[in-house]
Amino acid sequence: MAVHPNPMHRQGLVIPPVTEDVRRFHERLDGYVPTPLRRLDPLAEQLGVAEVWVKDEAWRLGLPAFKVLGASWATYRLLEQRRGATFEPWSSIADLRDRVAELAVGSGRSEVKTRFGTAGAPAPSPAALSTAPLTLAAATDGNHGRAVARMAKLLGLTSRIRVPAGTVAARIDAIASEGAEVTVSDGGYDDAVAEVAAWADDTTLVVSDTSWEGYEQVPAWIIEGYSTIFAEVAEQFADAGSPGPTVVCVPVGVGAFAAATVGAYRRPDEEPALVAAVEPVDAACVMASAVAGEVITLEGEQHSIMAGLNCGTPSPIAWPLVSQGVDVFVTVTDDEARTAMRALADVGVVSGESGAASYAGAVQLAAAGRLVASDRVLLLSTEGATDPVAYEQIVGHPPPSLPMSPAT
């Protein structure tokens, strides 16, 4: 069975408010435009529903994935926290970079609690403090790390990114192209997260999209940063004369984006929509945790081609919204993700393995009889061809060339 009702689902969730500052922040970044919301009638016919729409995140702020929305907002808020005051007013990324340059590297010892203990580093020497730049650090399966590295480059900072063992060369090279120091863990994604947590000190700021005890604020800001997508979607549906989706399919890794999705479609003033969380069969950590009734860690490592979803532990900060706000969990195989990539390519949508999971999930919902003829289905395609070689092998042709970012 690929479609699993959420045993923890409940009505009447309390959804935290989202500040309009997030959208205003993103609008000031170079190259900001809303990503397309595409109506795909051929896919609606295949699924037997009234409408299928895809929020196409193949190109967001110069990167081939949506992750930069969360990474940019969290980085901004983290740097404001370090400054002890707002950066406002500012009008461009160049203006913001000048303000960030005014930050002095602090002294003393900085500690980050991890689920494996407490890690810290001795205070740097006064001489080092006078010259050492701030560094942004993250663990990643690809897209989040590249987004953090991009923000570091834009703001005149350095970056260190840790990837799990087995990460394909294309993703490593893409992160390195942003000027990051990229290293490879001997273990999986959870191992990389723990290793990066231990890097935190007075000159290294960890920008993680998953949380652990004592580290919740930055991942909460990342979830908040994704709200821009849903503000755009609401405007785009209104412009199209559509009342919006009745079903939303969201790919799930640690659950940060799923938490943002629940936040968008569980508000009392919103039209009710069924939220389907889509995970790889071998990395369904959120579903497994819902069945267990608490956050658990999957045994072993995860090796799905849906690299952005290869996570073994849900993010505790995302867990309350995801565990109670998701209606159904859908598990999909790698072959089903490949088939979905080809189906999306046939209608002009470039979607990578993780992004195409949303359509693979919709296919499973249809097969399970969970869709009806009047449904309006929203697919959240979270990435483009982040591994161009694999994309060509799967789809049968290379992805189209995309415009160069001002930062590259």
Domain residue ranges of the chain, discontinuous segments joined by +: 3-65+226-395, 68-214
Which residues in the chain land under pLDDT 70?
1, 104-132, 402-408
121 Rama sector, left if φ>0, alpha if ψ -120 to 50, beta otherwise:
beta
- State the average pLDDT for the chain: 91
Residue 402: the pLDDT is 62
CA distance 289 to 115: 17
Residue 17: the pLDDT is 84
With tokens 């369904």, the residue in question is 284
With tokens 């080809």, the residue in question is 342
With tokens 């930050």, the residue in question is 103
Query: How is residue 230 written in tokens?
Result: 């849903």
Alpha helices in 271-403 (DSSP H): 285-292, 319-325, 334-346, 357-367, 388-395
Cis peptide, bond prior to residue 89, ω within 30 of zero: yes
Q: 405: exposed, middle or buried (C-beta count within 10 Å: 0-12, 13-18, 19+)?
A: middle
CATH code of the region 68-214: 3.40.50.1100
**Predicted structure pTM score:** 0.92
Instruction: Indicate the residue type of 132.
Output: A
Q: 147-174 in b/e burial notation, b at 16+ Cβ within 10 A? A: bbbbbbbbbebbbbbbbbeebbeebbeb
Query: Looking at domain 3-65+226-395, which of 3.40.50.1970, 3.40.50.740, 1.10.10.10, 3.40.50.1100 is its CATH number?
Result: 3.40.50.1100
- Which residue numbers are catalytic? 67, 141
Is the separation of the CB atoms in 386 and 263 below 8 Å? no
Q: Do domains 3-65+226-395 and 68-214 have the same CATH topology?
A: yes
